[in-house]
Each structure stands twice: as structure tokens, then as C-alpha cells.
Amino acid sequence: MEIDPIFQGAGVKAGLEIWCIENLRLVLVPKSSYGKFFSGSAYIILNTVLLKSSSPQHDIHYWLGNDAKEVDSALASDKALELDAALGSQAVQFREIQGLETEKFLSYFKPCIIPIEGVFSSGPGELNCETYQISLFTCKGDHVVHIKEVPFSRSSLNHNDVFILDTASKIFLFSGCNSSIQERAKALEVVQYIKENKHNGKCEVATIEDGKFVGDPDVGEFWGLFGGYAPIPRDIPPSLQKQPDIPNAKLFWIATQGKLCQTVCNMLNKEMLESNKCYMLDCDNEIFVWMGRNTSITERKTSISAAEDFLKSQGRSTRSHLTSLTEGSETAIFRSYFDVWPQLAEPRLYEEGRGKVAAMFKQQGYDVKELPEEDCDSLIDCSGTLKVWRVNDDELFLVPVAEQTKLFSGDCYIVQYKYPGNGRDEYLFYAWLGRGAVMEDRVDAISRMNTIVDSMKGDSVVGQVIEEKEPIEFFLIFQTLIVFKGGLSTRYKRFIAEKGIADETYDEKKTALFRVQGTSPNNMQAIQVDQVSSSLNSSYCFILQTETSIFTWVGNLSSTRDHDLLDRMLDLINPTLQPISVREGSEPDVFWKALGGKAEHPREREIKAYVEDPHLFTCTFTDGDLKVKEIFNFTQDDLTTEDKLILDCNREIYVWCGCHSNVRSKKQALEIGLKFLEIDILVEGLSLETPIYVVTEGHEPTFFTRFFEWDSSKANMHGSSFERRLAILKGTAQKIEVPLRNSWKACSTENTPDSLRSRSVSSNGLRRSASSAFSVSGSNLKSSDNHQISSVSPIARSLFSGSYPDHDSADGSPVPPRPTAVVPSSPSENVGLDQIDGVKIDVNLLIFPYERLKVVADDPVTTGIDVTKREAYLSEEEFQQIFGMTKTAFYKLPKWRQNKLKRSVHLF
């Protein structure tokens, strides 16, 4: 089919693109009008996500105003399908009805969208000089806000909702007595938005509490606008209203003529969906249209029309969301309705053939890298003090400093790490559970860790990790770690004796094989593995220790960095014997004899698949039942003090507990994390052994805050979320900040007990030093304002630009007033480029054009530049054009986000 020319080039860059139906054709909406939605029009919105591991991901939303013509709505639906075809039929399409938008859609336009009466026009606008109209809005939602204008009448008010009354000189916020604190706080963001965009920042704000008078003049003025006070009729609080039962999903096959044929079955599974057919999945408030890969565009249009007709005939057209998706692009919610849905196999990133080619180059002295390695920059200060206890029956055994970097896989340990935080000491605790440890020791380790944490003042970060699933931060605080087979625990010894299992506990006199791994001398490990030939791997280096000799085995795909770590580890495991160096392919017979004979071993590195951007969930946990809801395009403001939230990073998860949440203990928070792993809401195959962190508000470590645009002044505020937002709105935020505890000098040896002093020299002979990531304050450690590079940044908009004249542009046309941020700016916003993130950037660099700087350039710049910072050599104008932001804003982003942006434009 022919694709509308206006879609040419759509979906290439990350972010939003918006079109509107005007005179039965699509017109492009200018970025300055993003977030303005006219109730008489229909729109198409494309959000593009740049993924690390595959092609871009697209979400298509078609928004239908309440007053839009039926022909425009139908055309928007067809054009959305046409856009999907232009993007390769891999997008998910969402129908958005005015007032009933999905939370994902609303998250693009924080804090809210307020539809405007009338119809979109691509022509020049006119200033609105009419008398100011008083408006009354309801605000619903804890993290995204549904705004609806209601009649300006006392009868519109109720006890359950939050209302905004907007007048010419003052904005009133009325909070129903049954509304939540979170809803009231979110409504204040809308008040701020209206104040800045409709009143040019010049109007008063008053907050009115339902049922409270006390002679407040604002209260009298508020009720005076309604003709005087009168009681609001009582209604049922939301918590007491009967919750609908979870619907049974019904699957229908959609025939070519649009006829629905229900599939009779007791259990849904993926095999029921045929690639040459279209289906409708009816989940009551959610309707899905699934389109097989081999169906035509005509069949798909017919299927979507059939689903819309079904909704109308059932009287559900105004309360059910309609989502359309093509085979292969199924969402997690859709897949969750099927009892059987096979997990997608992870792509193999290293193939044996490529490995052999790389090995050939390496043997000739070339350092070949098949794929770029992930950043392993230290995300925590590494100059702190370490304490390690081993669980032994009903006791904790404090491991001597000289031995605390040696763990046994049959034991469980409690690790305490004390390090200087942002003006105070911070504590990080781990319960490390050896893979061979008995259950009693595992339970005891977690229980005793929680007891230690509860006995301390302040809120420590705790983590539960299982051997072979350790997060990078665990290795960084040890710097050097050796994991031996076997165990020292009494329970472990008793268990293997009862089961008749041979004791493999490491002994210097026994044969032992160690795999050496890590990224630097400050992050290296030796892991004892089974002493058999199949344990070898071409991408690693190994140490083989026998009774009389010691071998170092170098894999053909290992790097010079691996060889350096091998030498360092050899000095720690056995510094006395002269090592026999062996290269893969030239092993002597005595080497194979020590391993029980020669056998095949893996020729490729086990590379973890790329982990895309994390997901944030709000959760409720009652009687062991966990219910979660995703927060899209999240920011730090979504960390509401009354909530408990889960940040899912795939490789690890964080349970964040607000100071005013109802989480009673770290133990309960760990239970919430385990329950989350069990339900696997995103159907991403989360392992039950995934590391779990528990983080308390105000004590967030840098390896957590890196996923946010972090403002430390917000993290230090106290009071409810409503009180905090009100203080920010009224400019009194600094008055409710919590004073920082302790001081930096508390970390010096003069003020630290001997038992807690940092080792001046670590066990690998290298002095601990502060990481670069910790050399800046928390306010400078900023990420994007949402968790996806992908997902567009929430738009700050001038919605009511016609209400007040502002400065004129160069061509004489009126310029919309500039939106003002809802939150106070951080001190780091005016920092020069040469001071950003503690890295000195030369502001006098030579300037080169983008076409010569990109990695795939035909005429590349070959000398005089730092290839790791190609973007720094762009002019300010070209940088802004390519990245959509200034250099100053770019260098405030965390390194992982910078690299992701650079990768998307071929500068990495």
C-alpha cells in the first residue's frame, strides 16, 4: 500500500512526533504546540524508543477529542495503522479517548494535559482577548493526573476528589476529605502549571481543606464564588466501594468480514494465535486486537473496526481501552492473560566462528573486541571500611581483616560497608548466600543482617545476593575477592556428612582450578570451579594449582587486561611457586592429567544480554498479596514519601521505601522484592536469585540515583508529599529540609574506631581511593528526567499561549510564554562545561563538522581528537541540532545515558 508522504522519516529519532487531522488530511504539529489537544480534533502521536539490543521500539497513540467528527476519528485509526506499516508493523497502537487516556500516554505530557475547546488549525493563531473565564477542574491520579473540566457549580464538588478552581486573580485547590495525600500533591503540580502557563506566573494560590474553616479568609472567598457555603452531600469513600472482580479474558477470532467468533477453551496459550488471522481479546476494561504477521492491511483495518463496533454495541466504548498489536510486538500485559506463552530465547552475542576469527587476530598481537564492553565505572565510594561476618550455627564469626576477601560457597556471610556519603556516613549491608549453603544458614544470615541493621541509627541500604548473581557494587567494595569451593560452617559440614557428599572445601594441598575475571585491579575476582577441562573458557584466564606446581592458562579470546589480572591474582593465591604459563592450544599432557583428561570447553564468552532502561512500579502489599502498577517515564518526583516502589533493572531490583510508607521493616521489604520476582509482571524471565536492594528515602546510594535526574535538595526534605510540594510552590522549600547528620571528617582515622578504620592498603597491594563517581555532590549526579532515553522527556508546555501577549519573535509573530519549571533549579545548572560531573572539559576545543566526527564518516578526523569524546568537538549549534540539548545539559547526564545517546547518532 502507499504510505502517506508525511510519515517519511518518522520514527528515526527518539522522542515524540505528533500529527493532527485537518480537513481530512494529516498535518504535522509543531513542537511548540506539543501537549495542546483540541477537543474537536483527532491526533496521532508516535513515541520512539532507541533500544540497545535491537531496532527502535515504537508506540502509536491516536487521541480522539470528545467533539471530534466521526470521519476524523476513523481516519486517525486508519492512519495509525498506516504509520505502523511504515515502521515495519512492529508498533503497539493505543486508542486514547479524551478524559480516559492511558497512563503511558499521559506520562509524555507531565504534569497534565488540559484539552482546549475548538479545533486544531495549522494556520497562524489569534490572541484571545475575551474576559477571563472561571474554570473548575477535577484532578485524579497519584503519579499521572487525569484532568477533567466540570461545571462551575457547588454540585460538582465531592469528598473523594481534588478540585482546582481557576479564577482571574487566584487559583484555589480544594481537597476532598477522602482524597489521598499523593493526589493532593500531584494536583499542586497542576496548579503550578496553570499558574505559569495561564497567569504568566503572577497570581495567588490558596489551599482549601474539605470541612475546615477556622475563619480562614481564603475559605470564605472560595465558598463566596459558589454563592456561599452549603454542605457537600456524603458519598462512599473510594476504599469502601466494591472493587470489580478480575475479568475472565475471552478470545474471539475475527473473520474477514469483521464477524466475531468466540473461541471456546478453558486455557489460553500462544499456539491458539495463527499468523494468518486476527483476534480480539476481551478483558472488560481492556480490549486487544492481535494481528497475525501474515495478515493484510485491509484485514487489520477490518479487525480494528470490528473491535470498535463491539465496544459500541456493548456500551463500553467510553470506558475500555483499545490496544492493537502485531505478532511479535505483544506487550507484557497482553501476554499475562495467556497461561502458556513461551519465553523468547536471548540472542547469542558471540558465535564460535567469530570467536575463531578474533582468536586468530589476537594470536598475531591485535587486541580485538567483538562488542563494546559495558561501563564498569565505580558507582560507590571505594575508600570505605569493610566488615565481614560468617554465619556459623547460632553465632556470627567476625572474619579477620586479612581473610575477609575470601568467601566459601558453602557458607553465608553478612557484609557491612561504611563509606562517606553526601555529608554523612552511609552503610551498605549484604547478605551473601553461597550456592552450596544450607537453608538454615541462609535464613539465619538474612535474619541476623536485619537485626544488625535495625539496631543501628539511621537507615542503611541492604542487599540480598546469591553467589554467581552478585551486582557490580558488591565486587567493587571488596576490590579483590576469592570464592572457594566448600564451606567452614558447622551446618554445612554436618549436611555433607549426613548425605555422604565428599568435602570439596579448598585446601592448598588439593588440586584447584580458578577462573579469573574482572575489569580492573580494583574489581577482580578468582572463582574456584570444578577442576575438569570443560570448566575452561577461551575468553578467560585460569589458574590451576596442584600439590607440586601451578599453571596459568590463557584463553585465546582473553585480553591484555585479563593477563594483568591473572598475574595479580596469582600473587594472592600462591606467591611461592614459579608458575608454568600455558596458552590455549599448547597445553602439556601434565596439565590435562591434572584436570582428569582433555575435553571440549566453551569457545565463547557468556555475555549477558543488553539490559534496557529500568521500570518503576508502585505497589501495595497486603497479607502476602502484591499488586503493582507501572509508572511510565518516571522522575524523582514519583518517589512519593507515602509510597513503596520497586525499580526493576532486570539484573537487580530495588525496593524503595518512603519515610511515610507503611513498610515496617527491611525484612518485609525483602519479602516484597521476592514476591515481585515471583510474579514477574513484565514476563521478562526474572530469576528468583536476582539481587534485591532495599533503599530508604533520604539514604539513596549513587548506584540507585543514577537512574534519575537527582536533586539532593528534594531528597533532604521532610513532611508529607503535599507539604513538600506546597513548600516548593510557595518558595519555602529550604525551610523544611532535614539537617544533614554527621560530617565528612567523621570518616577520618582520627574519628573512627580502630575496628572500623579503612585499610590504607587493600589486599591486592593497591591503595583504596575515592571513585570519580563519588567526587561530586549528589546534585551533580543527574540522569535524564525520565527513565528511558527512549521515552520522550515529559513535555513542558505553554498551553494557554493566546491568553496573554508576550515578546514578539523576529518575524513579528507572538511567541508563547516560556514555561517555568515546577521545581527549583539545582545549584549545578549554571556550572560551566569545564566543571561538569567533576570532569574538566576544554571549552577551547577545535570544532569539526558532524559528518567528519561520526564513526562511519567517509572523511573522518584522524588526529588531534579524543575519540572517546567525539561529541565535544561539535559546534554548539550542531550539538543542539543532533542531541536536542546543549552541551551543558548533555554532560550533566550519567555516563550510561551519554553513551546511549552517542551510540544512537554514531558518535560512540
- CA distances (Å), 322 to each of 225, 284, 388, 620, 769, in order? 40, 10, 54, 26, 55
pLDDT (0 to 100) of residue 741? 38
* CA dihedral over 461, 467, 471, 474, signed as positive or negative: positive
Provide the residue type at 67 as one letter: D
755, pLDDT greater than 90: no
Neighbours of 40 (CB within 10 A): 16
9 phi and psi angles, rounded to 5 deg: 85, 0
The three cell numbers of residue 40 are 474537536
> In the β-sheet with 480-484, what is the strand arrangement from edge to edge?
406-408, 480-484, 523-529, 512-520, 541-545, 550-554, 580-583
Cα 40 to chain center, whole Å?
Answer: 36
CA dist., res. 607 & res. 537, Å (int): 12
pLDDT (0 to 100) of residue 794? 57
pLDDT (0 to 100) of residue 234? 76
704, pLDDT greater than 70: yes
Mean pLDDT confidence for 372-390: 75
Find the angle CA(321)-CA(339)-CA(93) to the nearest 5 degrees: 25
Q: By three-state DSSP, how is residue 695 classified?
A: strand
Q: How confident is the model at residue 858 (pLDDT cuts 50, 70, 90)?
A: confident
Is 669 within 8 Å of 449 (Cβ atoms)? no
899, pLDDT greater than 90: no
pLDDT (0 to 100) of residue 786? 35
Q: How confident is the model at residue 236 (pLDDT cuts 50, 70, 90)?
A: low
pLDDT (0 to 100) of residue 371? 42
Which of 360-374, 588-602, 626-640 has the least mean pLDDT?
360-374
- Cβ contacts of 521 within 8 Å, gap of 6 or more: 479, 564, 565, 568, 764, 766
Mean pLDDT confidence for 374-402: 84
| pLDDT digits 0-9 by tens, 135-189 | 999 999 989 999 999 999 989 999 999 999 999 999 999 999 999 999 999 999 9
Q: How confident is the model at residue 782 (pLDDT cuts 50, 70, 90)?
A: very low
Q: What percent of the chain has pLDDT over 90?
A: 50
The three cell numbers of residue 899 are 553513551
The three cell numbers of residue 727 are 513548600
CA dist., res. 15 & res. 793, Å (int): 7
Mean pLDDT confidence for 734-760: 37
- CA distances (Å), 671 to each of 61, 615, 658, 689, in order? 37, 19, 16, 13
pTM of the model: 0.78
CA dist., res. 865 & res. 875, Å (int): 14
| pLDDT digits 0-9 by tens, 508-545 | 888 999 999 998 888 999 999 999 999 999 999 999 99
pLDDT (0 to 100) of residue 810? 40
| pLDDT digits 0-9 by tens, 551-584 | 999 999 999 999 999 999 998 998 888 899 999 9
pLDDT (0 to 100) of residue 809? 41
- Burial bucket for residue 61 (CB in 10 Å: 0-12, 13-18, 19+): buried
> What domains are there in the chain, each with its CATH number?
5-108 (3.40.20.10), 135-226 (3.40.20.10), 250-337 (3.40.20.10), 521-594 (3.40.20.10), 615-730 (3.40.20.10), 850-905 (1.10.950.10)
pLDDT (0 to 100) of residue 393? 86
- Cα Rg for the chain, rounded, in angstroms? 31
Q: By three-state DSSP, how is residue 174 classified?
A: strand
- CA distances (Å), 826 to each of 95, 708, 713, 714, in order? 38, 14, 8, 10
CA dist., res. 323 & res. 307, Å (int): 10
pLDDT (0 to 100) of residue 54? 67
Neighbours of 525 (CB within 10 A): 21
Helix, strand, coil shares, percent, the chain, to 5: 30, 20, 50
Report which DSSP code applies to 437: -
771, pLDDT greater than 70: no
* Residue that the C-alpha cell 501476554 belongs to: 335
CA dist., res. 491 & res. 497, Å (int): 10
CA dist., res. 819 & res. 198, Å (int): 10
CA dist., res. 505 & res. 791, Å (int): 50
- Burial bucket for residue 280 (CB in 10 Å: 0-12, 13-18, 19+): buried
The three cell numbers of residue 850 are 558532524
- CA distances (Å), 519 to each of 153, 415, 457, 538, 876, in order? 66, 22, 35, 17, 35
CA dist., res. 68 & res. 265, Å (int): 39
CA dist., res. 483 & res. 388, Å (int): 14
CA dist., res. 273 & res. 290, Å (int): 8
Pairing of β 15-22 and β 25-28 = antiparallel
Q: How confident is the model at residue 461 (pLDDT cuts 50, 70, 90)?
A: very high
CA dist., res. 356 & res. 158, Å (int): 72
Q: What percent of the chain has pLDDT over 70?
A: 79
